[in-house]
Amino acid sequence: MKIPAIFNNILIVRTDRIGDVVLTTPTLKALRQAYPTARISILVARQTYDLVNGNPYVDEVLVDDREAKHKGVLGFLKLVRELHLKKFDLVIIFHTKRRYNLACFAARIPYRLGYKNDKLGFLLTHPLKDHRASGKKHEAVYCMDVIKALGIENDDMDVLVPMQKGAEAWAIDWVQENNLNTCGFITIHPGSSDPAKCWSSANFALLMDRLVEQYALKVVLIGSVQTIPVAEGILRQTRQRSQFLDLTGKTTLAQTASLLRRSRLLISNDSGPVHVAAGVGTSVISLFLRDQPGINPERWRPLGAKSFILSNCPTPFSVDNVLELVDQIFKNDSQYEIF
C-alpha cells in the first residue's frame, strides 16, 4: 500500500527506549534521501533527546516531556496544539501507543502512517500489519518496512549517534584525569531494564579480573542509577579492584556516548548501550540470555561490522567464550596494539 503524495513537512514519532531510537536512525537517513528538500522532525522522549540532537538527517528534535510540560490531560492537549501548529503533512508513528495515534489525529496531520492495532490504530489513515512480535527480522528492518508504504526501498542499516559538544569536553577531561590515554579501557554495562536479560555478577567479576590480567588496560563500569547496586555487587567479588573505575549512575546519556566512542570495546547485556556503541563506531559484544520470539538476537542485535553477539541458546556461553571473542576482536582491529 503506497501513499500517493509528495511531502514537505514530515514528523517521525519514536518516543520509546534508547535502542529503539538508535535503530530508527537508518530510516531517518532513508527519508532524507527520498525527500531531500522536506523538513523532517522527530518526536522523542526527554531521556533520548541526545541520541538524535545533531543528526544530519533531521531538521528539528521535538520532546514529549511527560514528566512536566506535557504531563496529564492539559499537557497532552498542549502537545496536540504544538503538533498542530507545526502543520505536518505526514507522520510516521513507530512507537505504537494510544497517546500518539490520538495526538496526531487531533493535530489534524492528514497522512498518518503506523501499525494497525488495538491502541487506537483505527485513527491512522494508513495502518500496517504489525509483525514485530515474531522477531523474524531486525528492528531496523521493520522500521524500513514501514516506509515502503511511501515507495522507499533502502537496505542501508548504518546506525548513527551524534556527539554533543559538552559531553565530548567532559569525556576528554575524564579520560585524561584517569590516565587512560595510553593504556586504553574496556567498558562494561552489567545492567538491563529486565533482570532476566542480565548475566550474573559472578561472571562479570571473573571476566573483569581476567581482562585486566590479560590486557594492559582498565575496565570502566557504566549504567543508570538503577545499575549501581549491580555494579557494587560485581566489584565486591573482584580481585583487581584498583583496576576498575565505576561510573554507574554518574553520566548522562550524551556523556556515555562520548565515553563509548573512546572505549576499545563495550561488553554488555542486551540493552540500549550496545546500540549506542554501534552508533559511535565502537566494537561491542552483546550478551543474549534469552532467545524468545520478539526479544531475540535476530531482532535486537547491535548492527555493524564491529558488533558481535554471544547467545545462551542453545548452549550457555562462559567467561572463556567472552574472552576468546575479545581476543579475536582485538587481533582483527588494526588500530589497537595488543599488550
Residue 338's pLDDT is 29
Which of the listed residues 122, 150, 178 is the one where a domain comes to its end?
150
Asked whether residue 4 is assigned to any structural domain, the reply reads no
Structure confidence by residue, pLDDT tens digits, 104-121: 999 999 999 999 989 999
Q: Are residues 17 and 108 in the same domain?
A: yes
> Given a cut of 80, is residue 85 above it in pLDDT?
yes
Asked whether residue 244 is assigned to any structural domain, the reply reads yes
> Given a cut of 90, is residue 64 above it in pLDDT?
yes
Q: Are residues 225 and 316 in the same domain?
A: yes
Number of domains in the chain: 2
Q: What is the DSSP string of 87-154?
A: T-SEEEE-S--HHHHHHHHHTT-SEEEEE-STTTGGG-SEEE---GGG--S-HHHHHHHHGGGGT---
Asked whether residue 3 is assigned to any structural domain, the reply reads no
What is the rounded average pLDDT of the residues 330-337? Answer: 69
> Given a cut of 80, is residue 334 above it in pLDDT?
no
Q: Are residues 171 and 77 in the same domain?
A: no
Domain extent, residue 134, equals: 9-150
List, in order, residues 6 or more apart from 324 with CB less than 8 Å away.
Answer: none
Q: Are residues 176 and 317 in the same domain?
A: yes
Model confidence at 1, pLDDT cuts 50, 70, 90, reads low
Structure confidence by residue, pLDDT tens digits, 177-198: 999 987 799 999 999 989 889 9
| Average pLDDT in the chain | 95
Residue 181's pLDDT is 81
For residue 16, report the phi and psi dihedrals to the nearest 5 degrees: -95, -140
Asked whether residue 2 is assigned to any structural domain, the reply reads no
Cell of 22: 538508535
Q: Are residues 21 and 143 in the same domain?
A: yes
- Rounded Cα distance between 114 and 272, Å, is 23
Residue 337's pLDDT is 40
Asked whether residue 278 is assigned to any structural domain, the reply reads yes
First to last CA, the chain: 56
Asked whether residue 155 is assigned to any structural domain, the reply reads no
Q: Are residues 204 and 83 in the same domain?
A: no
Q: Are residues 144 and 194 in the same domain?
A: no
Asked whether residue 89 is assigned to any structural domain, the reply reads yes
> Given a cut of 60, is residue 335 above it in pLDDT?
no
Q: Are residues 179 and 129 in the same domain?
A: no
Residue 249's pLDDT is 97
Q: Are residues 170 and 144 in the same domain?
A: no
Least confident of 95-99, 199-203, 264-268, 332-336: 332-336
Model confidence at 339, pLDDT cuts 50, 70, 90, reads very low
Supply the CATH number for residue 171's domain: 3.40.50.2000
Q: Which amino acid, residue 68?
A: A
Structure confidence by residue, pLDDT tens digits, 129-157: 999 999 999 999 999 999 999 999 999 99
Which of the listed residues 90, 119, 150 is the one where a domain comes to its end?
150
Cell of 338: 595488543
Structure confidence by residue, pLDDT tens digits, 214-248: 998 999 999 999 999 999 999 999 998 889 999 99
Q: Are residues 21 and 129 in the same domain?
A: yes
> Given a cut of 60, is residue 84 above it in pLDDT?
yes
User: Could you give the percent of the chain with pLDDT greater than 70?
Assistant: 97
Which of the listed residues 150, 176, 202 is the one where a domain comes to its end?
150
b/e map 76-101, b = 16+ CB within 10 Å: beebbebbeebebbbbbbbbbbebbb
Asked whether residue 44 is assigned to any structural domain, the reply reads yes
Give the predicted TM-score (pTM) of the model: 0.96
Question: 288 has which bridge partners?
Answer: 311
Q: Which amino acid, residue 238?
A: T
Q: Are residues 179 and 327 in the same domain?
A: yes
What is the rounded average pLDDT of the residues 154-167? Answer: 97
Structure confidence by residue, pLDDT tens digits, 281-299: 999 999 999 888 889 999 9
User: Could you give the percent of the chain with pLDDT greater than 90?
Assistant: 89
CB 288 within 8 A of CB 267: no
Structure confidence by residue, pLDDT tens digits, 18-32: 999 999 999 999 999
Q: Are residues 312 and 197 in the same domain?
A: yes
Cell of 334: 588494526
